[in-house]
Structures are given as structure tokens and as C-alpha cells.
């Protein structure tokens, strides 16, 4: 059924769901660095699993570009790093930037491994 929908509609529906999920995580974790880190790592893990599963293009549009694209948040990550730098906390900025990058890449590897079998 979803394969009959136009790709922009699939991306929009997935994006709406991803944005709502992002908001829910933000509320659950009281916003800030923790929720930004969590959604970026969770979204990277999900996207890694999704890509490894090689789903139909419609599923990739809905769940990958749509849901994961809206769920993860590079802009909030960039703001957190910049604010830490502006506050004279280069140590926190570096830890946030490096930690998020390493954990997100590990999430992609984990998601892929869960699908392809370690």
C-alpha cells in the first residue's frame, strides 16, 4: 500500500512521526544535551538497521529520510557545541562533538550488525 503513495507524501508522513517522536524524547529527558545525544544515537542506530535491511524505496523514504531525518537533530547538536564554546567550555564542546560523532557511528554499526548478523 505505501508503495503507491508519492515519495514526498511518504517523507512528509515519516517526518511528522519523527518530529513527534523527537518532541517526546525531549520531554522525557527534559531537553538539552541529553535528549539531543539520545535522538542522534537512536536515530543513527535505526538508520543503520534500515539501510542494512535494504527495504523498498518507499520504506526508505518513509522511515529513513522522513522519520530518521526529522527525529535526529544536527542543528540542536551544533547549537549545544557552539553554546559550550561561547561559555568558554571548550572541553565540554569537544566532548559533546566527539562523543556524539563516535556514539552515532557506533549506532550505525550496531543497527547494521543487528540486521546482518554480527
85: helix, coil or strand?
A: helix
69 annotated binding-site participant:
yes
Report d(CA 111, CA 84) in Å as an integer: 30
Cα–Cα nearest to 33, from 87, 116, 91, 97: 97
72 annotated binding-site participant:
yes
Q: What are phi and psi of 46, to 5 degrees?
A: -60, -45
Q: Which residues are annotated as a binding site?
A: 69, 72
Query: Binding site residues for Na(+), as ranges?
Result: 69, 72
Amino acid at each position: 500500500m505505501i508503495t503507491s503513495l508519492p515519495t514526498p507524501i511518504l517523507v512528509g508522513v515519516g517526518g511528522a512521526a519523527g518530529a513527534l517522536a523527537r518532541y517526546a524524547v525531549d520531554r522525557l529527558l527534559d531537553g538539552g544535551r541529553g535528549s539531543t545525544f539520545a535522538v542522534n544515537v537512536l536515530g543513527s542506530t535505526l538508520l543503520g538497521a534500515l539501510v542494512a535491511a535494504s527495504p523498498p524505496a518507499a520504506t526508505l523514504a518513509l522511515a529513513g529520510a522522513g522519520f530518521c531525518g526529522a527525529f535526529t537533530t544536527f542543528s540542536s547538536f551544533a547549537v549545544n557545541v557552539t553554546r559550550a564554546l561561547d561559555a568558554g567550555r571548550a572541553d565540554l564542546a569537544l566532548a559533546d562533538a566527539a562523543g556524539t560523532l563516535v556514539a552515532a557511528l557506533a549506532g550505525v554499526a550496531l543497527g547494521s550488525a543487528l540486521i546482518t548478523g554480527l
